[in-house]
Structure 1
Amino acid sequence: MNKLRIGVDLAHKLIQVCSSTNNKVHSNNEMTLQQFSEYLASLSPSTIIFEACASANYWHQFATSLGHNSLLISARLVMSVRQSQKTDKNDALAVLQASLLPDVHFITAKSINEQQAQSMLKLREHSVKQKVALKNQLSGLLREFNISSGRSICQFVGTIQDALENAENGFCDAFVNNNRRTKWGQILTSDIKLMWQPYKLLLKCW
């Protein structure tokens, strides 16, 4: 019995599904996410090829849990194989065709734990960039009052504390209290330990 082989072009709301048996295409249909879930659940174990994209790991995990042989293929390879204009049908067909190339290299899918780890690390990188941007902005504001700060974060935090507490700077109470609540205060409460929080959470995922 020939095993079903399916090329899938994933999208946000609709999924294009191109199926074949013995290298012969017999359907290329559009499905909603719910329809595609039910379709996978109704199939006997088959080979499902997904173009690597944002939701590919989720669908890989779902298909694998149903007993299918799930594979991820490079979007760049799919693009090079596609012979006609870019449409969902042509993309799904190209996914299928690309998977049949000799010596094709499939992409290693991520587990849900690996996805969580990646998400937390990306959020940490974003937090670091925000902290650097905030420090640079505050440095500029301090210079407007002729206040210079050290380069290290500890020296910088100390400079802000001294600036807000030093009566000789002539800052009024409203200015001091407001800046403690807003951006000036954020750099003080943004403890460096928070930078490492994702790693603590990551350890709990494994």
Structure 2
Amino acid sequence: MKVTTAGIDLAKNVFQVHGVDEHGKTVLRKQLKREQVAPFFANLQTCLIGMEACGSAHHWARKLQALDHTVRLVAPQFVKPYVKTNKNDAADAEAICEAVARPNMRFVPVKNIEQQAVLALHRVRQGFIKARTAQANQIRGLLAEFGLIVPQGIGNIAARVPELIEDASNELPGSFRMLVDQLVDHLKVLDTHVLNLEAKIKAWHRESEISRKLEQIPGIGPVTASALVATIGDAKAFENARQLAAWMGLVPRQHSTGGKAKLLGISKRGDTYLRTLLIHGARSAILAAQRKATKEDSWLGKLLLRRTPNVAAVALANKNARVVWALLAKDRTYRSDRATMAAGA
């Protein structure tokens, strides 16, 4: 039995393996317990192994790469078309095995431990930000029920709410005052967690030469730069700059037929977090450019003359993604006078 290509359906405890030989004939169908996976592939001749890019996929990819196997991670939406019948572990493993062998298949880069650790900081920070926003909205909504309106902006919660609680003229019940005070304290704890995680992200950013290089691009700060470096990994995995922008969902969707090209809004595929950071950073760069009265003959100046600020922000985010590819893949240093040339490289 010589397995040349194998597909693994990952799970918490029970893994399904499907293997084929060089002619595409099925030669292996096996169910493995979690502790059996590493020993099994250690005794298997080196081959191409495919897995869905899901939970624990990067961990197992590193484990199997250490055993000299070639590992490829496939996005789940690219595996689905190869499932022939009803969904089960065996059918999924067979579909993964089929998908990974396709010559034009797109793969997810395998992340190392450091990349995953940095992304964990970003994910937890984002979770605390959502919790902080939800807590602020809850406080604002509860006070509104008593006719007390807090101005917009999360900073006004900590600044205005304590005064409202201490004001005896608003006739709030004592139990409600204590409740809101407790919620404000919880909001401050969440804010402290966010600031602590941002400090850790910035500390990692200062130690990373590549991340500091990306920070030179207008609209990209330490948080965005560190997220880009940790998520993209090896930029050479993308053939060109547009492929990276498409991977982030920043290029137009197409609905073309009969030789007629029809472009719609951006596809919004890929990592929502990265795309959000780039677009928010682009908005900040546009505001800075407007304050500095950017020349109308510049790329951004011409864009703002013919497009709305929101459209311009997405276009600038798309351009920045392409510049990021040029800096990472070609080991360049950012220069403002070469930004346009680097973006089109």
| Cα separation, 2, equivalents of 1:35 and 1:103 | 32
1:194 matched residue in structure 2: 193
Shift of 1:81: 1.8
Write the letter of the residue equivalent to 1:34: E
Note the alpha carbon deviations across 1:4-42, whole angstroms, 9 max, x for none.
Answer: 321111122211111223133211111111111221233
Root-mean-square deviation (CA), in Å?
A: 2.6
Task: Tell me, yes or no, if structure 1 residue 16 matches structure 2 residue 20.
Answer: no
Report % sequence identity: 24
What is the Cα deviation at residue 160 of structure 1? 1.3
User: Does the CA contact (< 8 Å) of 2:52 and 2:96 recur in 1?
Assistant: yes
Cα deviation, residue 87, structure 1: 2.3
Query: What number of residue pairs does the alignment pair up?
Result: 203
Matched, 1:71 2:43: no
Mind listing any 5+ residue stretches in structure 2 that lack a counterpart? 209-345
For 1:47-58, list aligned pairs within 5 A.
47-58=48-59
Q: In the aligned structure 1, how far is the partner of 2:136 from the partner of 2:53? A: 38
Q: Match of 2:108, SS? A: coil
Moved over 6 A (4+): none
Equivalence map 1:132-143=2 (5 Å): 132-143=133-144
Q: CA deviation at 1:124?
A: 2.1
Q: Which amino acid aligns with 2:21?
A: T
SS in 2 for 1:8: strand
Distance 1:83 1:139 in 2: 52
What are the residue-to-residue correspondences of 1:1-206 with 2, within 5 Å?
4-22=4-22, 23-170=24-171, 176-177=177-178, 179-180=180-181, 182-191=182-191, 194-202=193-201, 203-204=203-204
Relative to the length of structure 2, the TM-score reads: 0.52
Deviation at 1:82?
Answer: 2.5
Is the strand fraction higher in 1 or 2?
1
Q: Structure 1 regions of 5+ residues with no counterpart?
A: none
Note closer, same or farther for the CA distance 1:172–1:105 as it changes in structure 2 (3 Å cut).
closer
* CA separation of 1:41 and 1:152: change in aligned 2, threshold 3 A: same
Question: One-letter code of the match for 1:98?
Answer: A
| C-alpha distance after superposition, 1:139-197 (max 9, x if no partner) | 122233333222223322121111233344455766545543x2132234443x53243
SS at match of 2:152: coil
Task: Report the CA distance shift for 1:201/1:44 in structure 2 as closer, same or farther (over 3 A).
Answer: farther
- Of residues 161-170 and 46-55 in structure 1, the stretch that sits farther from structure 2 once superposed is 161-170
Question: What amino acid is the match of 1:9?
Answer: D
Q: What is the letter of the counterpart of residue 50 of structure 1?
A: M
- The structure having more radius of gyration, on CA atoms, is 1
- How much has 1:3 moved relative to structure 2? 6.4
User: Which amino acid in the other structure matches residue 6 of structure 1?
Assistant: A
Q: Identify which of structures 1 and 2 has the higher relative contact order when contacts are C-alpha pairs closer than 8 Å and 6+ apart.
A: 1
- Please give the secondary structure, in 2, of the residue aligned with 1:134: helix
Q: 1:96 to 1:145 in 2, by over 3 A?
A: closer
CA distance in 2, matches of 1:138, 1:167: 19
Superposed displacement of residue 57, structure 1? 1.3
Moved more, 108-117 or 29-38: 108-117
Q: TM-score, normalised by structure 1?
A: 0.83
- Cα–Cα, structure 1 residues 46 and 136, in superposed 2: closer, same or farther, change >3 Å? same
Give CA-to-partner distance per residue, 1:105-137, whole Å, 9 cap, x none.
Answer: 222222222223333322222222222222222
Give deviations 1:44-75, integer Å, cap 9, x for gaps. Answer: 43321112222211111111122221111232
Q: In structure 2, the residue corresponding to 1:53 is in which secondary structure?
A: coil
Q: Distance in 2 between matches of 1:73 and 1:178?
A: 49
Counterpart secondary structure, 1:149 = coil
